[in-house]
Structure 1
Amino acid sequence: MKFIASDFDGTLLNEKGMISERNIKAINKAQSKGIQFAAATGRSYDAAIKPLKHAGINCPIIALNGATIYDENHHLIDSIPMDRETCKKILAVSQDAHLYIEFFTSDGIYSSSREQFAEVLEDIMKSANPDVTREEVETQVNQRFQNEKIQFIDDYRKLINHNDIQIFKMLCSSLNPDNLEMVYEQLKNESDIAITSSGHINLEFNHPNAQKGMALERLAKQMNISMEDVMAMGDNLNDKSMLERAGRGVAMENAAEEILSLCNYKTKTNEEDGVAYAIEEMLEEMKQGNEPAPEKF
Structure 2
Amino acid sequence: MIRVIALDLDDTLLRSDKTVSPESLALLRRWRAQGHHLVIATGRPPRTVAEVLPRELFDVPWVCYNGAAIQIDGRTIFQDLIPPEDTRTIVEMIQARLPDCIVGLEVDNILYLNRAIQRTSPYQVADLRRICHQPAAKILFFQDAQFQEIMADLRPLLQALPASTRALLSEKYNLVQILSHSADKARALEMVVQQWGLGLEHVMAFGDDVNDVEMVRRAGLGVAVANAVAEVKAVADHITASNDEDGVAQALEALLAGQLESGVG
**TM-score, with length taken from structure 2:** 0.89
Residue 277 in structure 1 maps to residue 250 in structure 2: yes
Aligned twin of 1:193: 165
Report the 3-state secondary structure (helix = DSSP H, G, I; strand = E; otherwise coil) of the residue aligned with 1:225: coil
Displacement of 1:14 after TM fit? 0.6
Aligned twin of 1:167: 136
Aligned residues: 257
Code of the aligned partner of 2:139: M
Q: In 2, distance between residues paired with 1:78 and 1:226? A: 18
Residue 233 in structure 1 maps to residue 234 in structure 2: no
Residue pairs, 1:170-249, within 5 angstroms: 170-176=139-145, 177=147, 178-179=149-150, 182-188=153-159, 190=161, 191-198=163-170, 199-249=172-222
Aligned with 2:114 (options 112, 115, 120): 112
Code of the aligned partner of 1:173: F
Residue pairs, 1:280-295, within 5 angstroms: 280-285=253-258
Residue 48 in structure 1 maps to residue 42 in structure 2: no
Q: In 1, distance between residues paired with 2:255 and 2:158? A: 39
Q: In 1, distance between residues paired with 2:121 and 2:17? A: 13
> Cα distance 1:74–1:17, how it changes in 2: closer, same or farther (>3 A)?
same
Q: In 2, distance between residues paired with 1:265 and 1:286? A: 11
Q: In 2, distance between residues paired with 1:189 and 1:4? A: 37
Q: In 1, distance between residues paired with 2:154 and 2:45? A: 23
Q: In 1, distance between residues paired with 2:88 and 2:206? A: 33
Report the 3-state secondary structure (helix = DSSP H, G, I; strand = E; otherwise coil) of the residue aligned with 1:243: helix
Code of the aligned partner of 1:274: G
> Cα distance 1:188–1:241, how it changes in 2: closer, same or farther (>3 A)?
farther
Q: In 2, distance between residues paired with 1:87 and 1:223? A: 34
Residues 27-63 of structure 1, C-alpha deviations (whole Å, 9 max, x = no match): 1111111111111111110100222235x32311111
> Cα distance 1:28–1:174, how it changes in 2: closer, same or farther (>3 A)?
same
Aligned with 1:101 (options 95, 103, 124): 103
Greater shift in the superposed pair: 184-193 or 199-208: 184-193
The percentage of counterpart residues that share the same residue type is: 25
Whether the 8 Å contact between 2:47 and 2:109 is mirrored in structure 1 is: no
Aligned with 1:144 (options 96, 112, 121): 121
Gapped regions of structure 1 (runs ≥ 5)? 119-140, 293-297
Whether the 8 Å contact between 2:63 and 2:70 is mirrored in structure 1 is: yes
Code of the aligned partner of 1:74: G
Displacement of 1:85 after TM fit? 2.7
Question: Would you tell me which structure has more helix in proportion to its own residues?
Answer: 1
Displacement of 1:160 after TM fit? 0.5
Q: In 1, distance between residues paired with 2:114 and 2:261? A: 55
Residue 7 in structure 1 maps to residue 8 in structure 2: yes
Whether the 8 Å contact between 1:173 and 1:180 is mirrored in structure 2 is: no
Residue pairs, 1:56-75, within 5 angstroms: 56-58=56-58, 59-71=60-72, 73-75=73-75
Code of the aligned partner of 2:10: D
Displacement of 1:187 after TM fit? 1.6
Residues 146-177 of structure 1, C-alpha deviations (whole Å, 9 max, x = no match): xxxx2221x2111102xxx4311011112212
Gapped regions of structure 2 (runs ≥ 5)? none
